[in-house]
Amino acid sequence: MSLALEFRGITKRFPGVLANDAIDMKVEAGHIHAVVGENGAGKTTLMSILFGLYPADAGEILVNGERVRFTSALEAIRAGLGMVHQAFRLFPTLSVADNVVFREEPTRRGMIDRAAGVERVGALAERYGLAVDPRSVVETLPVGVLQRVEILKALYRDARILILDEPTAVLTPQERDKLFEVIRRLSDAGRTILFITHKLGEVMAVSDRVTVLRDGRSVADLVTADTNPTEIARHMTGRQVDLDRRAPAHEAGSAVLTVTDLTVTGRHGRETVKNVSMEVRAGEIVGVAGIAGNGQSEFIEAVTGLRDVPEGSIHLHGNDITTSGVLARRLAGMAYIPEDRHGVGTSHLATVSNNLLLGHQRREGFQNKGWFDRKAVRRHARRLIETYGIRSGPINSPVSTLSGGNLQKVVVAREMSHGAPLLIAEQPTRGVDIAAIEFIHDRLITFRDEGGAVLLVSAELSEIHALSTRILVMFDGRIVAELDPAEVDEAALGYYMTGAHEEALLG
């Protein structure tokens, strides 16, 4: 078979870091080729070079056997490349068809022909089994459908080589399976798929070949059928990894967090959390599963004090904190790893040390009558950096110089070092690499074993499944099921998350 895409000796050096070190990779036409690697392995750099965002220091790229050197993404698109980004780039208020044809609008007598646009997009969607109504407005669509719109955008521009960057991060298991069907169909139609991920299950499920990157080098090129997840993980991390961990069950103690009949009203007076009651006891991890947008974020904001609670009550260790501010809740014993680590969990212009200090700044020992003991503050930062293995420069370098995984460790370290009895962990491992995931999971389990209470919200079902003592499923603002992780598998969880069981009950 012919090669659709070939990288030869691609090298890219940033000050102090060799991001790509003579990477070779061959992608056969019509194949589904997975690229895996931990964060910082060089995946993003390689794709950026391919799309002309910056030039390689050495090496060459061949598309369909011809040497190319793109200087902009536009040139790459003209050459038949299409990229589906992790974060969607769509106009929310426009229709699917308008989004897809943007800048390539079909015209009639110099005017945009919208009917033709709708027709073409509809035909394209049908051909590849992408169930999308071209007339629907983007902002009304669920995430899984938005991704199909992104794929349509690439196909509409006749992308022969489609690059999907971590496409399943935001999908439910059902949506994920549908995406895989689409990918297979595209591959059958002769298109080449480059599938970037760090989830090994997906590599096994959908790819023909897999290239593993580590520390900027391509360390393995494997035929998927001839390998297994453990081998891939070993190549990714450079060591043996145990992939099948389950936190052993644990005796739960008394209630730490008690939420009673909580209702949250969002904008436009819509109820986003409806009458939720739950509790988290000492020594247990309660996992909240749900598709994004079913009230989990609002629920957590209400519990952490970032949002007003119009109805219901929240108790922490028996103290009513329903109307307390963030500070009072933190003092009462709550620590919080927020979902948005860039916008909320850290301040990227502040230093590593200052980021590690937040929430501790009024602690005895750190300050005396409002004046810092600067030695103690520095000790605190150094201790956390060491204990949590945060790879950073000097403690007074801006936190923005840290990689995603290390940034998350900063948040985790800071929040766990409060010694608060309740830890709320929202998407604690989103977008971080396997080593960091393992580490954070270990920390959560240790915390639980020491009698801490954890409220875990995650879109990652495997995470919920592996860590939780109990699983609560949120759908449409309500808790629709409480499940024992030992008794449900991920498929069943996904079933509850879509609200399907309720429809089944209703007949």
Partner 1 sequence: MAEQPLNAPAGLGSKIGNVAGHPALFSLIFAFALGWTIVWLTGGDPWFAYREMFDGAVTGSGLRNTLSRAIPIVGMALAVSVAFRSGVINLGGEGQMVVGGLAGTVVAIYMPGPGQLVIPVAMVVGGLAGALWAMLPALGQTRLRLPILITSLLLNYVARAITGYLVRFRLLDDSVTLTSTEQVPATARMPKIPVFGGVSYSLMLVVVLVIVIWVVYGRSVSGYETRMAGLNGRFARYGGIQVERQTVYVMAVAGAIGGVIGTHMILGDAYRYIDGELVLSGLAWTGLLVALLANNHPLLILVAGLLFSGLQIGGLAMQRNADVSWRLAQVLQALVIVAVASRLTFTWFKRRTDRGVTPGEVEPAGVGEV
Kindly list the residues in this chain that would bind partner 1 in the complex (CB under 8 A).
Answer: 14-17, 19, 40, 44-45, 304, 306, 325-327, 329-331, 336, 338, 342-351, 353-354, 357-359, 361-362, 367, 370-372, 374, 377, 394, 396-398, 400-401, 403
Ramachandran quadrant class, 42 (left: phi over 0; alpha: psi -120 to 50; beta: rest) = left
**Paired tokens of 37:** 């690697």
- Give whichever of 66 and 371 is closer to partner 1, judged by the CB atom: 371
Nearest distance in Å: CB 19, partner 1: 7
Nearest distance in Å: CB 49, partner 1: 13
Q: Which are the contacts of 57, defined by CB distance < 8 A and separation ≥ 6? A: 11, 12, 13
Place of tokens 């208020």: 93
- Give whichever of 329 and 443 is closer to partner 1, judged by the CB atom: 329
Nearest distance in Å: CB 393, partner 1: 9
CA distance 197 to 383: 33
Nearest CA to 372 among 393, 384, 357? 357
Q: What angle do CA 275, 280, 282 make, to 5 degrees?
A: 165
- Give whichever of 156 and 299 is closer to partner 1, judged by the CB atom: 299
- Give whichever of 265 and 400 is closer to partner 1, judged by the CB atom: 400
Q: How many CA atoms lie within 13 A of 56 on its CB side?
A: 26
CA distance 134 to 114: 11
Q: Which residues pair with 391 in a beta bridge?
A: none
CA distance 164 to 149: 13
- Give whichever of 31 and 307 is closer to partner 1, judged by the CB atom: 307
Nearest distance in Å: CB 394, partner 1: 6
16 backbone dihedrals φ, ψ, rounded to 5°: 85, -10
Element (H, E) at 318: none
CA distance 298 to 424: 13
Nearest distance in Å: CB 255, partner 1: 23
- Give whichever of 109 and 369 is closer to partner 1, judged by the CB atom: 369
Ramachandran quadrant class, 111 (left: phi over 0; alpha: psi -120 to 50; beta: rest) = beta
CA distance 244 to 228: 13
Q: What angle do CA 127, 128, 134 make, to 5 degrees?
A: 75
**What residue type is assigned to position 238 of the chain?**
G
Nearest distance in Å: CB 350, partner 1: 5
CA distance 72 to 157: 16
Q: What angle do CA 343, 349, 353 make, to 5 degrees?
A: 100
Nearest distance in Å: CB 297, partner 1: 13
- Give whichever of 74 and 326 is closer to partner 1, judged by the CB atom: 326
Nearest distance in Å: CB 488, partner 1: 33
- Give whichever of 338 and 421 is closer to partner 1, judged by the CB atom: 338
- Give whichever of 323 and 361 is closer to partner 1, judged by the CB atom: 361
Nearest distance in Å: CB 273, partner 1: 19
Nearest distance in Å: CB 264, partner 1: 18
